[in-house]
A and B are shown apart, each in its own frame.
Chain A
Amino acid sequence: MNPRRVQTAPTFDRAFQKLPRELQQATREAIRHFVDRSHENAILPERKTGLRGVWTFRVTRGIRVFYVQRRDKEAGKVSSVLFHVGQHDDYRTILRHRP
């Protein structure tokens, strides 16, 4: 399977730099898998519920990368533009499991 075309936005870069070191390492590995399309079952790329056009993949249980897909007019190919990495709580799952 072809690798993904991926770019990071400056907002992503800043959010990445604010993460603690161990989460930076975990994010780095998740992005490696995302680009190479390896370990898809671990990073689980999926649409963000309730947000049109925003996608997400998993770094750890509570940390996600958020991205949009954009067509590169020159190359005629779709790129994934990562715009944020940070905390994400799946509240519906938390509530379904009823703490």
Chain B
Amino acid sequence: MAEMLSDLARLRRETRVQEQLFETLLREKSSASTEELEELADALQTEEHRQASLHLVGLKGISERLKVYRERSDDSRARSMVRIAEEIFDIFGSWLELFQNTRLRILQLASARDPHPLSPVFTNGNEAVAYLDRLMK
């Protein structure tokens, strides 16, 4: 149990470190071109999906064990295991969301730095659809 709690603390620390690394990356890329930022966002998405597939498989195993622990609600050790499992879900949720939100911040920055003008303002759905139809051709 102590080892698991120590692992959870380590995972929390790693998430905070990753968050700081992403903040540094965003500062470093604040004057990058739109094209460079879009490439970076694509690379980050690939990594996000790799991490998600890696972790979601592991979490499935924890989920199966969690069912068993939940049924033993009168067992204090089982209740501790449920709390630990929920903490693991929370940590990995934060971890994956961090990748996703960083990617979106990069895309937002790419959009702000794009020298090309915005589309006209659409005030009815048909105007917007006509514009998108032209993009689809």
A residues in contact (CB < 8 Å) with B: 3-14, 16-17, 21, 24, 27-28, 31-36, 38, 48-51, 54, 66, 68, 72, 75, 79, 81, 83-84, 86-89, 91-92, 94-96, 98-99
Contacts and interface: CB of A to CB of B under 8 A. Distances in A.
Contacts of B124: 3, 35-36
Interface in B76-104: 89-90, 92-93, 96-97, 100-101, 104
Contacts of A31: 125, 128-129, 132
B10 to A, nearest CB: 19
A32 B97 contact: no
A43 to B, nearest CB: 12
Contact of B59 (A9, A27, A66, A95): A95
Contact of B107 (A13, A24, A83): A83
Interface of B: 34, 38, 45, 52, 56, 59-60, 63, 66, 89-90, 92-93, 96-97, 100-101, 104-105, 107-108, 110-111, 114, 116-129, 131-133, 135-136
Secondary structure call for the B interface: helix
A83 B111 contact: yes
A-B CB proximity, top 9 nearest:
A32-B125, A83-B111, A98-B63, A36-B125, A91-B96, A11-B111, A10-B116, A8-B119, A95-B89
Secondary structure call for the A interface: mixed
B59 A54 contact: no
Nearest to A6: B122
A28 B125 CA distance: 9
A28 B59 contact: no
